[in-house]
Chain A
């Protein structure tokens, strides 16, 4: 078990800078998710931690051991880490048992010790009955379980997971999220989990690190990230799809000449350009005739597009200043294209971002 500390970790290629000054303290036994769109540098960061990519600058420490820094780089095989790959990466020429035993044989354990430990791992990932099978005879989910058993059998100090569920179908993915969290709670291994799926990060991780363009945008608990996004990028990435340009006057956000009460308006610096962030399902939609009784924070608009999604109705509404707002309303709330409507933006749901 060990903490992992990244200090000013940077990777440069000629003409590209996939990771810039990433500093992060990962506590002993913590499961941390690196979340971001493809190309944000999360996988490069993980592969630097694993030792497959030498950093251009910066330091990586595991516990009090420097595994990568000015004085050199420890090769992956000596970092006491295990890794789970998106492609599962189970060896096709070995049985399930041999796959899990492979790393143990390296460590010159006796045959009976190896067997005992492999059996226990396969039991934990519910694959005991398939020990003699070859990977080609297993489903994707089972192969990923083999990879999990193999990684845990080595008793690593750090577990690295690189988009481990992205190749699985949706149902299995949800099941495996909980499975990974369960295994983490059982073994308590410091884990770094790379994903582009925010729900996956929220379910599995203790803390989420949102990355964009090679930099860390925000680090926080899933609740922090969801409720208190620090930047426009984080807000839009976690589903605050509406970023409305506004200006600030006497503690209120002004959109289309209408002052709106907004949470956190007072702390915000008024110099730069500002946006008001709000999730589509937090906006209330009213028809022209049914103007809400609570008249704070209401804006008029015109429906330009609507689509029915089963459990919700999606609307695009143009405000009078031309900005477009996405609203996710109850299925029963019907409005046709071209109809004038009222939007109510509850103050508690509005976040002001620079």
Chain B
């Protein structure tokens, strides 16, 4: 009986793994093949493997610039999101003040608007403030669109930290500011890691705001770089796959680094 259950479980896991990882493996194989080879046979193994496509993309197709831009915009945005989001969440969860819940609700309610609704006015505002076509402008927009969700996730976690832990720190002589950095934030680390990973992956792959707000070659981020291989008449499928592989590496690194904390954060409620 145990063997049957075990093998059923293994079959289910194998099916799910191939479902989830299959497209990734396929794209990885295509990233090492030329477009002509791909058109001849969509699913063949890369033989010979064209590793030079990666250096072509990096040097000849300006990927080095896109990559640097993406890193700059996303890392700064995630940093601001994490610090500002955690502070706002701590404040909303811990301090009693008039309109606390009103502010919380207004912040959270902005999540319901699809980006298409705000993007035109956003474009206009950025043009007027001279932030159009700049990495700073894109960074600020990224912070703005992800902040409500970040606060929402963190607030519920901060609210679960017993108030006694903060009161004890105050009795020990610590101010509100120090308590945030030395007690609240370290205890909320699993939840903070969750938002870091979530925001990083989301913004790293973000296309809509980038394509509307950035046109200059020198300021393009990676998703826009991949778009360049989508020609008007012909798609360079092989290079798209190569570009995707370059783009996906940091995501995998970030996920691997934070995933343990992510799982902790997601299951924290279940354990207690």
Contact = CB atoms under 8 A, between A and B. Distances in A.
B165 A52 contact: no
Interface stretch (A56-64, A86-94, A210-218, A259-267): A86-94
B174 interface: yes
Interface stretch (A76-84, A197-205, A245-253): A76-84
A76 B187 contact: no
Contact of B173 (A77, A85, A87, A151): A77
A133 B187 CA distance: 16
A344 interface: no
A102 interface: yes
A106 B165 contact: no
B173 to A, nearest CB: 4
A50 interface: yes
A76 B170 contact: yes
A102 B167 contact: no
Interface residues of A, number: 25
A102 B189 CA distance: 19
Interface string A144-156: 0001001100100
B187 A93 contact: yes
Interface residues of B, number: 18
A89 B172 contact: no
Interface string A47-79: 000101000000000000000000000011110
B171 A76 contact: yes
B187 A102 contact: no
A76 B172 CA distance: 9
Nearest to A87: B164
B164 A89 contact: yes
A303 B27 CA distance: 88
B168 interface: yes
Contacts of A154: 172-173
A83 B173 contact: no
A89 B162 contact: yes
B187 A92 contact: yes
Q: Interface of chain B, helix or strand or loop or mixed?
A: helix
B72 interface: no
B84 interface: no
A154 B169 CA distance: 12
A85 B174 contact: no
Contacts of A83: 167-168, 171
B172 A106 contact: yes
B172 A102 contact: yes
A93 B171 CA distance: 18
B164 A107 contact: no
Contacts of B7: none
A5 to B, nearest CB: 20
Contacts of A92: 165, 187
A37 interface: no
B227 interface: no
Contact of A91 (B170, B171, B178, B187): B187
Interface string B172-186: 111100100011001
Contact of B171 (A81, A87, A90, A107): A81
A50 B171 contact: yes
A102 B169 contact: yes
A227 to B, nearest CB: 36
A76 B167 contact: yes
Interface string B141-168: 0000000000000000000001011011
Nearest to A82: B171
Nearest to B185: A93
Given A52-B170, A76-B171, 13 more contacts: A76-B167, A77-B175, A82-B172, A85-B164, A86-B164, A89-B164, A89-B167, A91-B165, A92-B165, A93-B183, A103-B171, A106-B173, A150-B168
5 contacts: A77-B173, A85-B168, A89-B168, A102-B174, A147-B168
Interface of B: 162, 164-165, 167-175, 178, 182-183, 186-187, 189
Closest 8 CB pairs of A and B: A103-B172, A89-B164, A89-B168, A93-B186, A106-B173, A85-B164, A76-B170, A83-B171
